[in-house]
Structure formats: structure tokens, C-alpha cells
């Protein structure tokens, strides 16, 4: 079982994204795949039919992802951000300064199943060294981030 199946935390935005992906898989991708399978079957001998093999592999991917999303939606806890709490929490967008490099980092703290380092701001997992270090702290605090390389940060802003 991968980390996505054991994380247990979603933001409300993450839940909406999963619901949209599930809807796309059920209403677009699965029907499209059925058409691909039917077309590949119509080409005759299935034992050496690359199109059929590709369509079957895609079918397995689609069905696996549908199962995974349903599991997550049924079992994960949706964590609402407490807007009255001024501490870093799941759902917070945080700006920190890495003191040794005099560089600012801005990220949104999410459950591990929602991590996206290509997003702007990056979506960091609550179990990442930086995420763990920030949870429960407030603007102005200096914290040591423990990981393969330890460093100090200062929390500049929490949204």
C-alpha cells in the first residue's frame, strides 16, 4: 500500500480535486477506454494486438485510480483550516525565511496525498521536515528544521 492510501488527511480543496478527477474518470476516461477496447477487439486476433494490450493496461490504470480515489474519499479526514487560529496548520499558506541562505520560501501545507512541488506556491506535506517543523508555530518564531540537512527558519507570514 502506498503513502496515498495511509495518509488520512485531505484539505477541502484536495477533496474537491479528487471528486473532479473521479468524475472525469467515470464520465470521460472509462467510456473512452471502453470504445478503445471495442475497436481493438474488432481488429481480430487479440494475442498479438498491441492496441488491445494498451487499452487493457489503460483500463487497469483507470479502475485502480477509481478504487484509490473512492478509498480516499471514504476514509480520509477532511481537515478544515481554523481561520481564528493564527498558528501554522494544514491548509495554511506560509512564508518562511531560511536564515542561513537569506531566502524566502512560500508553501501551502497539505496532507501527503496532495503534495505538488510544481504548484505555486508549492504544496508541501504535513510530514515533510519543513511542514512538521512549522505546524503549531506563529509569525515571528524561529524554528529549526530537522532533516538530512538541519537549518533555521523564521516564519514571516501565515495566510
| Cell numbers at 69, concatenated | 480515489
pLDDT at 45: 75
pLDDT at 7: 56
> pTM of this prediction?
0.82
Domain 93-158 in CATH 3.10.50.30? The answer is: yes
Chain position carrying cell 479526514: 77
pLDDT at 10: 95
| Cell numbers at 102, concatenated | 537569506
pLDDT at 5: 43
d(CA 154, CA 39): 59
Q: Where in the chain is the domain with CATH 3.10.50.30?
A: 93-158
CATH topology of domain 3-78: Helix Hairpins (1.10.287)
Tens of pLDDT along the chain (159 residues)? Answer: 344 444 589 999 999 999 999 999 999 999 999 999 999 888 877 777 888 999 999 999 999 999 999 999 999 999 999 988 999 999 999 999 999 999 999 999 999 999 999 999 999 999 999 999 999 999 999 999 998 999 999 999 999
The dihedrals phi and psi of 18, each to the nearest 5 degrees, come to -65, -40
Angle value at C-alpha 145, between 144 and 146, nearest 5 degrees: 110
Amino acid at each position: 500500500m502506498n503513502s496515498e492510501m495511509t495518509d488520512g488527511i485531505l484539505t477541502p480543496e484536495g477533496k474537491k480535486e479528487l471528486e473532479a478527477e473521479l468524475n472525469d474518470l467515470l464520465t470521460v476516461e472509462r467510456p473512452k477506454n471502453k470504445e478503445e477496447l471495442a475497436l481493438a477487439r474488432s481488429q481480430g486476433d487479440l494475442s498479438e494486438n498491441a492496441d488491445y494490450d494498451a487499452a487493457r493496461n489503460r483500463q487497469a490504470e483507470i479502475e485502480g485510480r477509481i478504487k484509490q480515489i473512492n478509498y480516499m474519499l471514504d476514509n480520509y479526514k477532511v481537515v478544515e483550516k481554523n481561520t481564528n487560529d493564527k498558528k501554522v496548520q494544514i491548509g495554511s499558506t506560509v512564508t518562511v525565511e531560511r536564515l542561513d541562505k537569506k531566502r524566502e520560501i512560500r508553501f501551502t501545507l497539505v496532507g501527503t496525498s496532495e503534495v505538488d512541488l510544481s504548484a505555486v506556491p508549492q504544496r508541501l506535506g504535513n510530514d515533510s521536515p519543513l511542514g512538521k517543523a512549522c505546524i503549531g508555530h506563529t509569525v515571528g518564531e524561529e524554528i529549526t528544521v530537522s532533516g538530512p540537512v538541519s537549518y533555521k527558519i523564521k516564519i514571516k507570514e501565515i495566510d
